[in-house]
Amino acid sequence: MTKNEKLKQWVSEMKKICTPDAVHWCDGSKDEYDRMLEIMLDAGIAMKLDESKRPNSFLFRSDPSDVARVEDRTYVASRKKEDVGPTNNWVEPKELKEKMLKLYNGCMKGRTMYVIPFSMGPIGSPISKIGIEMTDSPYVVANMHIMTRVGTKVLEALGADGEFIPCMHSVGKPLAQGETDNGKWPCAPIEQKYISHFPEENLIWSYGSGYGGNALLGKKCLALRIASVMAKREGWMAEHMLILRLTNPEGRKFHIAAAFPSACGKTNLAMLQPTIKGWKCECIGDDIAWMKIAPDGSLRAINPESGFFGVAPGTSYESNPMAMESIRKNTIFTNCLLTDDNDIWWEGIGVPCKHGVDWKGKEWTPESKEKGAHPNARFTAPARQCPVICPDWENPEGVPIDIFIFGGRRTSVVPLVTESFDWDHGVYLGATAASEATAAALDVKSKLRRDPFAMLPFCAYDMGDYWQHWFDMGDRLGKKAPKIFYVNWFRKDADGKWLWPGFGDNSRVLKWMCDRIEGKAECVETPIGRLPSKTSLDLSGVKVTGKDLEELLKVDVQAWKSELPEIEEFMNQFKDRLPERMKKQFAKMKKQLGG
Ligand code: O2Y
Ligand code: MN
């Protein structure tokens, strides 16, 4: 238990409303983790995988209505609508609370209410924050054990009057006397799901979903949405970024934080295996970075999480061997296919499967019309199991960031890599980041989706104010500001063939960035930024023809110009919150492109 009166009061208040059969304070022990899995095995929700193939690992199948984050059921409640901006679902806080309190009323009947004290970031780090999640889902407890630091040690760090972020969660499925889940994933119908954020009170209320970002409230809700507002208020940064360390043959360490929209291979880049001799890459985090300016003026980053909640389909020994090694044991799988020998399988795992049970529990063969694994099937694995986890990944002081990378999936127009002219230009590159939705057919022109800083679903305040925060951070960092680059691994030729090999060869692009910092690599100035000169990218031992390289580094001024009206329209939605410095960058870009 705790000496923290505020916490005790909140737990007792929510207990009165939700009326659980019991309350359990999580201690974070292995015994507790094992007990959660046992409870779910007994309820028929978890399946134990073959111990010799996948030690201490389990498979879950969620309800087909509960398979991903639900953006249209995600709300940000603040007193003034204009504070959340045009990219968030705004609700008046009192109205939202009244609605949700009706749903919370008696919602935990027949269940246990678990109180999970958790730390985002190493306990005691000056960058970390403490959250308390109350939930009626043992699946959430087990996942939070992997994804965050949980238990008594967090309560000790919280002390009698420490600050915490209250995170309330219920699956929204009370049980009648004697009723059990009996093999059915508990959740509420879609119209009753609410993923609600109250940034003015640092408060999260989630109801009706037991899945991923909707239910593991430390991740997207706390570490990005609530933290984005706290970071603006307190002068730090909460970003949707992987963090990696790249060491050159001379032993100099570079720390890179990179933001990509989904389906751009973020986890693959976080666990990159360089193909260039003498270079080493280590993973610090694959999804979120919290960064603060240290007393020496450098920007120090931590990964607030302690696990990976990765997309399973497409993950293979070819695309990401380090992720495959990370999930060999002690892993929770959700919505993957179950093979006949009690292991997991998914599309793109790199080995065939002849027969199994799909994510909906139906018999599956390669001839089946439906996919074996849900496209958003997930693995939850401890970060410490990653063979290339950086020895400093839990350093409470964080690591000093040298480079920011933004990117997106673009089959044309955007070159392999661009260095920004300066910080403000880099902020413009991040703000205008865009990705193509993968087109179903080659002849269909896929739609471009702007996703500034990959934060569109996660920035819980006006995006214009968020851009201003980036400009302000740049001013405070001054000469110690990281260099900013933009990458595109996905450019294709006229026949639809990838021009860049990707995966481990992306290290060649990262090497160019590090060499630029050291003044060792040449560039050419173009209207959109600085690009590698033809000979400055290390292409030793890689099959990229001179023609392909030319295409990869081509700047089609006309094509860039033709995107300006859409960029202007996108920016103008932020009206008077659009920073003057962003307008200036846009005008500069327009002029440089000759428009
Ligand atoms: O579908 C979900 O609930 C998870 S979303 C997610 C999970 C891990 C890392 N990133 C994301 C994301 O949506 O960016
Ligand atoms: Mn993410």
> Which residue, judged by its Cα, is nearest atom 5 of ligand 1?
213
Residue 446 has pLDDT above 90, yes or no: no
Cα distance between residue 212 and residue 201, in whole Å: 23
- The one catalytic residue among 26, 187, 221, 264: 264
Q: Is 69 in the pocket of ligand 1 (CB under 6 A)?
A: yes
- State pLDDT tens for residues 128-160: 999 999 999 999 999 999 999 999 999 999 999
Residue 504 DSSP one-character state: G
Fold of 5-47+69-234: Phosphoenolpyruvate Carboxykinase; domain 1 (3.40.449)
> Which residue, judged by its Cα, is nearest atom 7 of ligand 1?
309
> Which residue, judged by its Cα, is nearest atom 8 of ligand 1?
309
Contact 493, 551 (CB under 8 A): yes
Angle between helix axes 423-431 and 580-592 (nearest 10 degrees) is: 90
Q: Is 210 in the pocket of ligand 1 (CB under 6 A)?
A: no
Closest atom, ligand 1, to C-alpha of 308? 8
Task: Using the mean position of ligand 1's atoms as its centre, give its distance from the Cα of residue 380 in Å.
Answer: 11
Contact 450, 570 (CB under 8 A): yes
Buried/exposed 513-528: b ≥16 CB within 10 Å, e otherwise: bbbbeeeebebeebeb
pLDDT of residue 442: 46
Residue 441 has pLDDT above 90, yes or no: no
Q: Is 212 in the pocket of ligand 1 (CB under 6 A)?
A: yes
Q: Is 334 in the pocket of ligand 1 (CB under 6 A)?
A: no
Closest atom, ligand 1, to C-alpha of 267? 9
Residues written for the chain: 595
Task: Using the mean position of ligand 1's atoms as its centre, give its distance from the Cα of residue 311 in Å.
Answer: 8
Residue 444 has pLDDT above 60, yes or no: no
Closest atom, ligand 1, to C-alpha of 286? 9
Q: Is 376 in the pocket of ligand 1 (CB under 6 A)?
A: yes
Contacts of 205 (CB under 8 A, 6+ apart): 96, 97, 100, 104, 168, 194, 196, 198
Q: Is 68 in the pocket of ligand 1 (CB under 6 A)?
A: yes
Average confidence (pLDDT) over 76-98: 98
Average confidence (pLDDT) over 76-97: 98
Cα-based distances in Å from 183 to 41, 47, 186, 215, 540: 9, 10, 9, 19, 55
Residue 443 has pLDDT above 50, yes or no: no
Cα distance between residue 504 and residue 315, in whole Å: 14
Task: Using the mean position of ligand 1's atoms as its centre, give its distance from the Cα of residue 451 in Å.
Answer: 15
> Which residue, judged by its Cα, is nearest atom 14 of ligand 1?
262
Q: Is 285 in the pocket of ligand 1 (CB under 6 A)?
A: no
514 counts as catalytic: no
DSSP H or E run through 83: none
Average confidence (pLDDT) over 277-295: 98
- Phi, psi for residue 170 in degrees, rounded to 5: -140, 145
Q: Does domain 239-307+392-592 have CATH number 3.90.228.20?
A: yes
- The protein residues having their C-beta less than 5 angstroms from ligand 2 (an ion) are 287
Q: Is 218 in the pocket of ligand 1 (CB under 6 A)?
A: no
- State pLDDT tens for residues 577-589: 999 999 999 999 9
Closest atom, ligand 1, to C-alpha of 287? 9
pLDDT of residue 427: 98
Q: Is 466 in the pocket of ligand 1 (CB under 6 A)?
A: no
Ligand with the closest atom to the CA of 289 = 2
Q: Which CATH class is domain 308-384?
A: mainly beta
> Which residue, judged by its Cα, is nearest atom 12 of ligand 1?
262
Residue 179 has pLDDT above 50, yes or no: yes
Q: Is 309 in the pocket of ligand 1 (CB under 6 A)?
A: yes
Q: Is 287 in the pocket of ligand 1 (CB under 6 A)?
A: yes
pLDDT band at 309 (very low <50, low <70, confident <90, very high): very high
Closest atom, ligand 1, to C-alpha of 67? 1
Residue 439 has pLDDT above 60, yes or no: no
pLDDT of residue 447: 86
Residue with tokens 């692009």: 509
More confidently predicted of 364 and 445: 364
Cα distance between residue 21 and residue 38, in whole Å: 18
Average confidence (pLDDT) over 322-335: 98
- State pLDDT tens for residues 33-53: 999 999 999 999 999 999 999
Mean pLDDT of the chain: 97
- State pLDDT tens for residues 493-551: 999 999 999 999 999 999 999 999 999 999 999 999 999 998 999 999 998 999 999 99
Q: Where are the extended beta strands (E) located within 265-371?
A: 280-285, 289-293, 299-302, 307-311, 332-334, 337-339, 344-345, 356-357, 363-364
pLDDT of residue 445: 56
Task: Using the mean position of ligand 2's atoms as its centre, give its distance from the Cα of residue 550 in Å.
Answer: 32
pLDDT band at 560 (very low <50, low <70, confident <90, very high): very high
Q: Is 262 in the pocket of ligand 1 (CB under 6 A)?
A: yes
Domain boundaries, the chain: 5-47+69-234, 239-307+392-592, 308-384
| Tokens encoding 563 | 């995107």
Task: Using the mean position of ligand 1's atoms as its centre, give its distance from the Cα of residue 308 in Å.
Answer: 10
Closest atom, ligand 1, to C-alpha of 214? 3
**Three-state DSSP class for residue 47:** strand
Substitution site in 60, 66, 67, 69 for ligand 1 pocket (most atoms within 8 Å of beta carbon):
69
Q: What is the largest CA-CA distance in the chain?
A: 73
pTM: 0.97
| Tokens encoding 292 | 């603060």
| Tokens encoding 77 | 């409640």
Task: Using the mean position of ligand 2's atoms as its centre, give its distance from the Cα of residue 221 in Å.
Answer: 11
pLDDT of residue 1: 81
Task: Using the mean position of ligand 1's atoms as its centre, give its distance from the Cα of residue 259 in Å.
Answer: 13
Cα distance between residue 531 and residue 344, in whole Å: 43
| Tokens encoding 318 | 């070819």
Closest atom, ligand 1, to C-alpha of 211? 3
Task: Using the mean position of ligand 2's atoms as its centre, give its distance from the Cα of residue 259 in Å.
Answer: 9
